[in-house]
Amino acid sequence: MKDNVVLITGGTSGIGRACALEFGRAGARIVITGRDTVKLEAVSTELMAAGITHHAVQGDVGILTDAMRAVTESIAAFGRLDVLINNAGLSMRAKFIDADVKVIEQLMQTNFFGTVYTTKAALPHLLATKGTIVGISSIAGYRGLPGRTGYSASKFAMNGFLEALRTELLPEDVNVLIAAPGFTASNIRHTALLANGQTQNDTPRDEDKMMTSEQVAIYLRQAVEKRRRNIVLTGEGKLVVFLNKWLPGLMDKMVLNKFRKEEGDL
């Protein structure tokens, strides 16, 4: 990672913030993006205190011009781009029958099109460095989760987009890594959208038992350094992906029962 330039979308909390610190401590120069100016300044101060060379860009990846500007500012600040981590994302917590379709649209705009926009802008620079594109996906990108129809759809779409792109880029030696962290203690459940589009501001799960964002960031750095294609983290996550491939009917019932137990209203 020494002197590599790493652009991390959604770098103001959770896995994004942890990656900024982890990759920065490994010697990379960091660019973070975020919509919230206050949170962006707070993480920037944290990176500065850690002696990490960085640049912060305020913007929304779901807006094409913002995504393009993040890449433009990265090149202006450091002259190159080696790694793009598409991390910015939203979740939801509502049954589809109750959810406003605008919630689904918002999730697709941020999670899927945010990845498409930023990757499109970054690709010429990553071709020049034979770099790496990372998509922070989810177990929900391998196994549809109840109450998460829009989230699952956006992550399935991300996985398909990145897998196709990886195949296209094989002759160019640009690596594409799809990373599914599993259930992780991060801010995403607190900011999940309810049926009416309002923020949940809470989590129905016991996050003390989950993998931390900092642990995820270590695995991600190692996977980028080794130019891995796919990683699925946590034992539970690996088991879900395996069983869903071979016993999909059983998994339908197991997943529904698990989410009913934890969240009650599904």
The confidence score (pLDDT) of residue 201 equals 61
Per-residue pLDDT tens over the stretch 236-266:
899 999 999 999 999 999 999 988 886 655 5
Per-residue pLDDT tens over the stretch 42-51:
999 999 999 9
Task: Domain 5-235: give its CATH code.
Answer: 3.40.50.720
Active site residue 219: no
Per-residue pLDDT tens over the stretch 94-139:
999 999 999 999 999 999 999 999 999 999 999 999 999 999 999 9
Per-residue pLDDT tens over the stretch 29-84:
999 999 999 999 999 999 999 999 999 999 999 999 999 999 999 999 999 999 99
The confidence score (pLDDT) of residue 210 equals 75
Catalytic residue among 117, 142, 151, 219: 151
- Strand 230-232 to strand 211-212: parallel, antiparallel, or no bridges (unpaired)? unpaired
Question: Is the pLDDT at 230 greater than 70, yes or no?
Answer: yes
DSSP of the chain, one letter per residue?
Answer: -TT-EEEESSTTSHHHHHHHHHHHHTT-EEEEEES-HHHHHHHHHHHHHTT--EEEEE--TTSHHHHHHHHHHHHHHHS---EEEE-----B-S-TTTS-HHHHHHHIIIIIIHHHHHHHHHHHHHHHHT-EEEEE--GGGTS--TT-HHHHHHHHHHHHHHHHHHHHHGGGT-EEEEEE--SEESTTTTT-B-TTS-B--S-SS-GGGSEEHHHHHHHHHHHHHTT-SEEE-SHHHHHHHHHHHH-HHHHHHHHHHHHHHHHS--
Q: How many CB atoms lie within 10 A of CB 36?
A: 12
What is this structure's pTM?
0.90
Residue ranges of the domains in the chain?
5-235
Q: Which residues are bridge partners to 56 per DSSP?
A: 32
pLDDT band at 207 (very low <50, low <70, confident <90, very high): low
Per-residue pLDDT tens over the stretch 167-201:
999 999 999 999 999 776 655 545 687 876 667 66
